[in-house]
């Protein structure tokens, strides 16, 4: 998925979460995005470390956790890559798993760019969808 595609999936999810368009919803969504942007790099670092040390159980756990947090905000690219990493770790495919951290870093960077735009819109009152 491209940056454009990531932005679209994120915006669709955010628009869904502020369906009633109340100030409380907007404030909640902002908090949720900021929380994700704080937490996702930490989760990715944990996943990368687990892959690096061939701790497959830990890799499954961190991939699953990052997948859930990503999907929750519509970061479909990152969620799909996490699902792939989770599957590879479950199947003990360490050879293929080694390539995942770089792909995940790139997807998370894309998501960061998309969220910056969305946060700007939310704070300026522009429509996000």
Partner 1 sequence: MSDELPTELWRRAPAFAGEAPSILLVDDEPTVLQTLSHQLGGNYRVVTAPDGLTALDALDRHGPFAAIVSDMRMPGMDGIELLEQVRLRHPEISRVLHTAQADLSSAISAINEGQVFRFLCKPCPTRELRGTVRDAVEHHRLVTAEREILDKTLRTSLQALFGCLELASPQAFARAGRIRDLVGELCRELGLSNVWEIEVAAMASQLGAVTLPPSVLQKLDRGLPLPDDEQKMIDAMPGITARLLGDVPMLEDVVEIVRGLQPADGGEPHAPVRPSGPMVPVAIDVLRAAIEFEAFASRDVAAENAVAVLEERGGYDAEVLAALRRARGVTAPQETVRPFRVGELEVGMRIAEDVVAVNGPVLIGRGLLVTEMLLERLTNYKHIVQIVEPIWAAVPGTSVSAPPAVPVPRSAVAA
Binding site for partner 1 (CB under 8 A): 13, 16-17, 19-20, 24-25, 28, 32, 35-36, 39, 61, 64-65, 67-69, 71-74, 83
In the complex, minimum distance from the CB of residue 72 to partner 1, in angstroms, rounded to a whole number: 5
Q: Rank residues 61 and 117 by Cβ distance to partner 1 and give the closer one.
A: 61
Cα distance between the two ends of the chain: 18
Q: Rank residues 43 and 104 by Cβ distance to partner 1 and give the closer one.
A: 43
What distances in angstroms separate CA 119 from CA 20, 38, 83, 87, 103, one per listed residue? Answer: 18, 14, 26, 32, 24
In the complex, minimum distance from the CB of residue 14 to partner 1, in angstroms, rounded to a whole number: 11
Q: Rank residues 91 and 95 by Cβ distance to partner 1 and give the closer one.
A: 91
Burial class (CB in 10 A: 0-12, 13-18, 19+), 103: middle
């Amino acid at each position: 998925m491209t940056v454009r595609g990531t932005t679209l999936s994120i915006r669709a999810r955010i628009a869904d979460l502020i369906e009633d368009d109340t100030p409380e919803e907007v404030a909640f969504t902002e908090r949720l995005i900021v929380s994700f942007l704080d937490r996702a790099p930490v989760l990715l670092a944990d996943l990368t470390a687990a892959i690096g040390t061939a701790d497959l159980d830990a890799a499954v756990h961190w991939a699953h956790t990052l997948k859930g947090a990503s999907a929750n905000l519509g970061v479909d690219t990152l969620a799909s890559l996490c699902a792939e990493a989770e599957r590879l770790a479950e199947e003990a495919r360490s050879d293929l798993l080694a390539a995942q951290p770089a792909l995940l870093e790139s997807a998370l960077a894309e998501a960061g760019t998309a969220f910056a735009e969305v946060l700007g819109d939310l704070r300026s009152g522009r429509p996000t969808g």
